[in-house]
Structure formats: structure tokens, C-alpha cells
Amino acid sequence: ASAVDMNTIPSGAISAVEVLRDGASAQYGSDAIAGVINVRLREASDGGAVGVSYGVRKSEYEVPVTPPVAGLPITVGPTISREVEDGEVLTLSAWKGLPLGDSGFLTVAAELKAQEHSERSGYDTRQNYPTPTGGGFDAREAAFNRFNAWTGEPQVDQYTLFANAGFDINESVSLYGWTSYQYRDALSAGFYRRANDARNVIEIYPDGFLPKINPAVTDFSAAAGTRFALGAWDMDTSLVYGSNRMEFTIKDTLNRSIGPTSKKVFYAGGFEYRQAVLNLSGVREYDVGLASPLNVAAGLEYRKEFYEIFAGEPDSYRNGGVLLGGQPTASGAQVFPGFRPANEVDADRDATGVYLDLEANLTDALLVSAAVRGESYSDFGETATGKLSARYDFSDWFALRTSVQNGFRAPSLQQQHFATTSTNFIGGVPFDITTFPVTDPVAIALGAEALDAEKSINYSLGAVVRVGDFSLTVDGYRIDVDDRIVLSENLTAANVRAFLQAQGFIGSGGGRFFINGVDTETQGVDIVADYSFPESSLGKFDVTAGVNFSSTDVTAIPAIPALSVLVPPPELFSRINILTFEEGTPADKYTLAIDWSLGA
């Protein structure tokens, strides 16, 4: 995935967040299948604020502990009542507005976030220590911590700086820009390796170990632009650059194949994504005899993207040759073998887009808008999208709105080029298990094809009620997405390995790759109500309540003809992955927010 990380914008830098609830690929391009979030930055030349927030996670639940390991010297019932309080989150934020001359502003914001990990694991009834000579159990079993996993939120330390500036040169020309920097250090864990686990070296971890993944993320962005008048056109041009680099350190772990001399900490490499976007847009009105002037917006966009994978230190991925019971053991750092030189990637692409947006009141009550956008990608071709929407105001307090549009989501560079390899030993024989790019010869032999864009059709119908300080919106929607890009199951069965070896890929244990082919249908209703109470001596209260009902059904799953000849044919997309789409998001969601402010 390569989604935008909203955490890189500190709350103090934001003045408002606008949500477009229906699809908008025709205006915004790829990824706007189901809507758009527009973050409006704070533009302040004076004032400021300091904020602090604290949160903690509290849970009380029943943990099943049966059946226990036979003979385990622990007396327990069928369940244990557990109360846990952890995952503390402390956030400090501040912003300050500064003047730039007589007609400019500089708003600076900073945020510090510290989060402790949370743990909601089950009770581990497995035998941890090797069976003593003569049988029985090691006496340490009774004191061993049976809640030995990190099932929950990660540990995070995050530092963010943001600056937004603007300056009016004259009445028709203004400059603007922003820059941001964020460093995030996180820590999460894999599964616990018991003392008697074949993946453990008991001389290093006599009680077993919990390997941890420590990604460090550095995010930077900068933008510069100008707004100016060109005849009757209001023009805007900008250049935006952003980069995100993630480097992995694996801690509290070992490389089993190196044996007792293995290190406990490894640098595992990582990846970096960079993007530069050049925009030119204009808007003006034409009087064409309708109930309102025809608003025309048009624009051009050029985007250049870069994606890189870089390898870790050799010990993070190599096999040191130490045997266990005469058999080879797993290569690389436990829980996360490092990226290998063979996985390294340095890819780029460019995309050019052009759009036209028209909007006007056909009558005093009926507003209609239409948009069309064309995109050309250097790596997968061209696509076109369109949108038609309308709003009818029956009165000052009631209106209906509707829209229909087709959309697309281009396959990301990450989905096209990501690669990582680990070594599994099957029957004592080492096999490389790889997440392949679709261009890899092994992936092609398994039936991989060049990724195509995801395609969608979005329908929406809604009502708006506004009476005084009360507003209510009800929006129903349906989104059909075809050819969703998914990661296949690991294709490592014996018949798959034999299939590859017959084609000359000796030593390949198979793996997985990205494929198109999952179709989904999502339907739902959004209801949002807002009321602003009159200001009093107690201050001002704004109350917002919202509810969402939605459901997603998988209507088609992918198939690869090249693998259908195998007996039994491998499973490309399991029931678990189908359930991730259909049950992975809550069907119902309820929110209630109260905002209180007290001013002079």
C-alpha cells in the first residue's frame, strides 16, 4: 500500500477538513474512487495555541486457557478474567502565526507524540522449555509469562514540524508554499519464539524471545505556488515535492543459521518513495444565458514518481550454514529477513493528466455539474473518467443531490516492483520463497501479467436539511470496483515447486505476486447531524452526531489459467482474504463529538 499518511500534518497546522463523499476521479485523478479529503491549512499571521492530549486503553475480557498442555504444572479454569490498562498516548502540539510584511503570513506548527504499545494477547498454554532428561516439565514453566505477545498497537515516538506561508505581491498576484518534516520511530513485534523452538538458539535466549520490528520513517514535503490573473481567468500553478523513507532494524532477534555467535540486532534495509507534481489550473465564468454563469475549470498535471528498495546488512538475510539435527536452518533475522541485493529496485514513472469541469444553475433550483479527465501513464497506458452530478433545492431548507461517475486507481510503483525473499526449508531442502514483481520470470511462469488499473462506478443519492443552526445530511451510495489489485496467496505447494522446476527454475520454492481480478460491491448510508447552540456565558457548544451503515460483497475472485492445470489447483485468493474485504470494516459506525470553546 502507498496511501497518504495524514499523521504527517500536525493538528495545529489544520484550519478545516473538507470531505467530498462521492467519487471524484474525474477531477482529482487516481485514488479518488470513493471520495476526497481536502485538508485546508491554517493561514494565520498572529495568534497561536498550545495543546495537550492524553489517552489510555483499558480492557476487561475473558481469556480461554483450555486445553492446557498435558501435564503443565499450572492450575487454571476454562477462562481467566483479565484487566489490562496500557497503550498510553501523549500528544503535545503548538502553533504560532507570524506576519510576513503587511500582506503575508507564516504559520508554524509542531507536534510531539509518544505512544506505548498495547497488549491483548491470548494465554499461551504451550510448553516453553525443553523436556528435562528423564521426562516431566522444567520447573520454570510455572513462572513463565503466558501473556508473551504484543497483540495490539505499536510503540511510537513521533516528531513533526510544519510551516505554511503566503504573501500578496499585489491585488492580482500572490505566492504560497509549505514545508513539512516528520520522523517516526516505531516498534512492533512478531510471534513469540519459545525456548524449545527450533528457531531459537538457547545459548542466546534461554527463556525464548519476542522478535521486534523497528521501522524508522522520515517524511519530507515542500511546495511552492502562485495565484495570478490572466485576463478573465484566475490561475494557479504549483510544484510539490514529497519523499518518504522507511528503514527497518530488527531487534531482540537472531539469525538461527549463524548459531550462538549471532547478533541480536540487524539492519534489514528498506524502501523510499518520492514524488514531484507540477500543476497548472484556471477557472473563470461565462454568461451563457442560464440561471447562473457557467463556471469553467480546467487544468494540467504532470507527476514524476520514484520507488527504491535497498538491501540490509548481509547477516540480516544470509544463511550462516549452522545445522540443527543435521539439517539446514532458516536464513536471516527471525521475524523479518532483510532485503537482499536481488530484491533491490530503482524504478520510476511519469503521468500526465488533463481535466475539464463545468458547473451552472440550469434553473434557480437546479445545479448541474459535469467533469471529464484523461490520464496517460508511462507504465500502463491511458484512461479516461467522467462525472455527472446535480442538486435540486426544493426550498431554502431542503435539497436533494445525486451523482454518477466512473473512476480508476492506477497500480502503484510499489505494487508493480516490491520484492522480498526468505528461505524456507522443506524436507531439509532450502527453497527461496519470494514476493515477486509481476515482471519477474518466475512470476510470469506462474501466470503473472502486467497490472491494470482498478476501475469503479460510483452512484450516490442524498438529502440536505438546514434549519437555522441545525443541519442534517443523508447520503446513500453504491461503489462497484472491478479488477482490484491484491496479493496472491503464497504459491509454495509441492506441485507448484515441481511446475517451476520443470520450467528450469531450480531452487525456487514459489511465492506470491500482485494480481488484478477481485470485484467488490459496496453499499451504504451516511447520516450526519450538526447543531450549534447559541453562545452563552458558559461558552459555545457545537454537537455533531454521525452514523454509517455499509456492507461490502466480493462478487468475483481472480483466476490464472496457467495454474488451473495443476492437481489440485492452488488457491489464489483464500476465504480469509475474502472475509478481510467483507468483514474487515465495521458494518455500523456511530460517532458523537462535542466541541466547546470559551472566548473573551
Check pLDDT > 60 for residue 71.
no
Check pLDDT > 60 for residue 560.
yes
Looking at residue 299, its amino acid is G
What is the C-alpha to C-alpha distance for residues 156 and 349, in angstroms, rounded to an integer? Answer: 33
Higher model confidence: residue 599 or residue 154? Answer: 154
Q: What is the pLDDT of residue 600?
A: 57
Mean pLDDT confidence for 48-75:
80
**Percent of the chain with pLDDT strictly greater than 70:** 96
Band (430; pLDDT cuts 50, 70, 90): low
Check pLDDT > 70 for residue 429.
no
| Residue 193 DSSP code | B
* Helix, strand, or coil (residue 41): strand
Check pLDDT > 80 for residue 423.
no
| Residue 562 DSSP code | G
Burial of 253 (0-12, 13-18, 19+ CB in 10 A): buried
Looking at residue 514, its amino acid is F
CB 520 within 8 A of CB 580: no
CB 369 within 8 A of CB 307: no
Comparing CA positions, the residue from 203, 493, 492 lying closest to residue 324 is 203
CB 239 within 8 A of CB 223: yes
Of 98-102, 149-153, 260-264, 346-350, the one with minimum mean pLDDT is 149-153
Of 185-189, 394-398, 480-484, 535-539, the one with minimum mean pLDDT is 535-539
Band (187; pLDDT cuts 50, 70, 90): very high
Q: Work out whether strand 36-41 and strand 14-20 pair parallel, antiparallel, or are unpaired.
A: antiparallel
DSSP per-residue codes, 263-295 = -S-EEEEEEEEEEEEEEEEEEEEE--SSSSPEE
Among the ranges 2-11, 21-30, 397-406, which has the highest mean pLDDT value?
Answer: 397-406
Of 177-181, 360-364, 537-541, the one with minimum mean pLDDT is 537-541
What is the C-alpha to C-alpha distance for residues 74 and 46, in angstroms, rounded to an integer? Answer: 65
Looking at residue 115, its amino acid is Q
Q: What share of the chain is helix, strand, coil (3-state, %, to 5)?
A: 10, 55, 35
For cell 519530507, the residue is 220
What is the C-alpha to C-alpha distance for residues 177 and 276, in angstroms, rounded to an integer? Answer: 14
Q: What is the pLDDT of residue 598?
A: 85
Q: What is the pLDDT of residue 426?
A: 63
**Angle subtended at Cα 292 by Cα 288 and Cα 297, rounded to the nearest 5 degrees:** 75
Asked if the bond preceding 215 is cis, omega within 30° of 0, the reply is no
Q: What is the mean pLDDT of the chain?
A: 91
pTM score, whole prediction: 0.87
Check pLDDT > 70 for residue 470.
yes
What is the C-alpha to C-alpha distance for residues 144 and 492, in angstroms, rounded to an integer? Answer: 36
Per-residue pLDDT tens over the stretch 303-335: 999 999 999 999 999 999 998 888 888 889 999
- Phi and psi dihedrals of 26, rounded to 5? -65, -25
From residue 439, give the alpha-carbon distance in Å to each of 415, 469, 507, 547. 11, 57, 19, 44
Q: How many Cβ atoms are within 10 Å of 274's Cβ, its own excluded?
A: 16
Comparing CA positions, the residue from 228, 130, 241 lying closest to residue 181 is 241
Looking at residue 36, its amino acid is V
Q: What per-residue string of b and e applies to 472-505 under the rule 16 or more CB within 10 Å gives b? A: bbebbbebbbbbbbbebebbbbebbbebbeeeeb
Band (482; pLDDT cuts 50, 70, 90): very high
Secondary structure in 3-state letters for 103-127: CEEEEEEEEEEEECCCCCCCCCCCC
Check pLDDT > 90 for residue 382.
no
Q: How many Cβ atoms are within 10 Å of 83's Cβ, its own excluded?
A: 8
Q: What is the pLDDT of residue 75?
A: 59
Mean pLDDT confidence for 384-388:
92
DSSP per-residue codes, 321-352 = --EETTEE---SSTTSPPPPGGG-EEEEEEEE
Comparing CA positions, the residue from 107, 114, 113 lying closest to residue 13 is 107
Of 73-77, 297-301, 494-498, the one with minimum mean pLDDT is 73-77
What is the C-alpha to C-alpha distance for residues 8 and 242, in angstroms, rounded to an integer? Answer: 11
Higher model confidence: residue 212 or residue 142? Answer: 212
